[in-house]
Amino acid sequence: GDGASAGSYGYTNSGYSVYEEENERLTESLRTKVSAIKSLSIEIGTEVKNQNKMLSDMDNDFDSAGGLLGATMGRLRTLSRGSQTKLLCYMMLFALFVFFVIYWIIKLR
């Protein structure tokens, strides 16, 4: 009686135990992989937050540098609108000064 009923299910008690152990082993393997993926996704999330903070800081730095550059360009425009003759005079005086300093250094040798 017992042998016939077990045979009708297609497995014996020992065969059922082997399948159950295999399922337990596969379940544990799956649990380990899911845990590793969860840990990896948490690390990725943390890294993304850090990278976003760095990008925000960099954006602020570029904005401040752009403001400084804009102010400098405004000053240059104001300077260029001034008298060209005055600017040319300053350039020539500076060139003469450099020439005399170099002449004096060479003469002292």
pLDDT digits (tens, 9 = 90+) for 10-36: 555 566 788 899 999 999 999 999 999
Please indicate, yes or no, if residue 19 is contained in any of the structural domains.
Answer: yes
User: The whole model's pTM is what?
Assistant: 0.47
Please indicate, yes or no, if residue 99 is contained in any of the structural domains.
Answer: no
Please provide the DSSP assignment of the chain as one string: -HHHHHHHTT--HHHHHHHHHHHHHHHHHHHHHHHHHHHHHHHHHHHHHHHHHHHHHHHHHHHHHHHHHHHHHHHHHHHHHS-HHHHHHHHHHHHHHHHHHHHHHHHH-
Please indicate, yes or no, if residue 25 is contained in any of the structural domains.
Answer: yes
Please indicate, yes or no, if residue 71 is contained in any of the structural domains.
Answer: yes
Please indicate, yes or no, if residue 49 is contained in any of the structural domains.
Answer: yes
The per-residue pLDDT for range 51-93, each reduced to its tens digit, is 999 999 999 998 888 888 888 888 878 777 766 777 788 889 9
Range of the domain at 52: 13-82
Number of domains within the chain? 1
Please indicate, yes or no, if residue 31 is contained in any of the structural domains.
Answer: yes
Please indicate, yes or no, if residue 98 is contained in any of the structural domains.
Answer: no
Please indicate, yes or no, if residue 74 is contained in any of the structural domains.
Answer: yes
